[in-house]
A = this chain, B = another copy of it.
Amino acid sequence: MRIYDELKMLFEPRSVAVVGASREPNKVGHVILKNLVDYFHGDVYPVNPKAGEILGKKCYASVRDIPGPIDVAVISVHAESVPEVMRDCARKRVRGAIIISGGFSEVGRKDLELETLKIARRAGIRILGPNCLGIFDAHTRMDTLFLPSYRLERPRQGTISFVSQSGAVGSAVLDWAASEGFGVSKFISYGNAIDLDESDFFEYLAYDRRTKVICAYIEGVRDGRRMMESAKKTGKPIIVIKGGKTDAGSRAATSHTGVLAGADAVYDAAFRQCNMIRVSGTTEMFDIARVLAEQPPAFGNRIQILTNGGGFGVLGADAVAENGMRLAQMSQESRDFLKSRVPNYAVVGNPLDLVGDADAARYRSALDAIADDRNVDAVLCAVLFQTAGIESEVVDVITAFSDARKKPIVVCSAGGSYAKLHMRMLEKNGVPTYDSPARAAAALSGLVRYGHMLRKREAP
């Protein structure tokens, strides 16, 4: 639990010093200070020997000059000055340092990293970075991202946390998640990772009660065994993208983060052994994370497809099969019930095609039957909102099924503003939506895999 307390302090410090705070609006040290002053729940102190006041806050010449105790120092000064700043932090008994600055081993200055680390170790200071974006916590609003919020939107509070070796990939995804309305708990960009790395954060997030699902973008892991152990211990689903899986990508990763991307097959086996869900892109990562965050696990791979547009049923059936799942066969009882409720030109099967003039009541009958059918593990519900028969009430019908939490449901829909309005309503009600049957089925397969993992864990 020591690692938990040490890392908790990075996300929930009472006081933060911004070393390298700047008056110029475009400078890293200004953007970080501004985001903290505007939103962070704790105390913030700018450090800059040449400024009197920034954003209405008194500046200090050094961390040591700040009157009260400082939990975390966020450092964005020139790399050459970082060891000196770390010495100040040590004397001040700062507990954690987030070093944003670049200019270390990635440009051949390994020496500066070693010197900084030596000072920190001796003083018991944990380091995140250098050459990173640091942290964003949607709850405490601890936020060291040096990208202004008008360019990079901050996501709403949620239960998905994201650990990223790449700042660029991480920040673009965070911005995208915010604009899609997806909730996030914590974001960590760990850069050169001279002290804390992905394994430490997996371990921390395992204990973090605000995190249900962990996402990770990794190019290379220094200590594979440790990563595997910490991943196994989490008990929470970890969805991982491995950058540099091809030879071309692996070479690119080496010149990017300096780590050896390693043989892809080794990573693949390692991920599988510790139940990590490997995906190839950030969209797919969030597709699965969202459903794991919102829906109950699936306790089998028998999927029922429900639709008012036959073509979506066909593509859905393809996607279910291609994602290693199978079409459920509803019980005779369910089918008899449905045949008494839907018109005779509807197709009571799987896909269950409610046809083009389906209304909310027809969806309700179908979902009622499915809810209690022991032959169905999960539902892929495709809705064409463009037809005249579908009223917004179908959102309530689907939400009621989801709220009962008997089995998971995802919605597939596509279109422009009218369809998107309804998709957004469903999302707000905890029903993940996807714009294609393929994405919806891939997300469901994540739930099936997680359900499988839970059953294995419960078994003796």
Which positions in A face B, CB cutoff 8 Å?
26, 28, 31, 102-103, 106-107, 146-148, 150-153, 164-173, 175-176, 178-179, 217, 219, 241, 243-249, 251-253, 255-257, 280-283, 305, 307-318, 320-322, 326-327, 345, 347, 349-351, 353, 356, 384-388, 413-420, 435-438
Contacts and interface: CB of A to CB of B under 8 A. Distances in A.
A256 B314 contact: yes
A249 B246 CA distance: 32
A308 B173 CA distance: 15
B244 A318 contact: yes
Contacts of A171: 384, 386
Contacts of A349: 255
B246 A418 contact: no
Given A281-B436, A317-B246, A438-B280, A147 B414 contact: no
Contacts of A322: 246
Contacts of A317: 244, 246, 248-249, 251-252
A356 B253 CA distance: 16
A166 to B, nearest CB: 3
Given A152-B415, A166-B311, A249-B318, 14 more contacts: A103-B345, A151-B388, A165-B311, A169-B312, A175-B418, A179-B420, A243-B314, A243-B315, A246-B317, A252-B314, A252-B350, A253-B314, A255-B347, A283-B436
A167 B309 CA distance: 8
B310 A256 contact: yes
B309 A419 contact: no
Given A248-B326, A317-B248, A311 B243 contact: yes
A170 to B, nearest CB: 8
Contacts of A146: 388
Contacts of A416: 152-153, 175-176, 178-179
A415 B283 CA distance: 11
B384 A353 contact: no
14 contacts: A31-B388, A147-B387, A151-B387, A153-B418, A164-B311, A166-B309, A167-B309, A172-B386, A175-B416, A176-B416, A256-B314, A281-B315, A281-B438, A283-B435
A358 to B, nearest CB: 11
A3 to B, nearest CB: 26
A245 B322 CA distance: 10
Given A151-B386, A414-B176, A414-B282, A248 B169 contact: no
Nearest to A172: B414
Contacts of A147: 386-388
A248 B318 contact: yes
Contacts of A327: 248
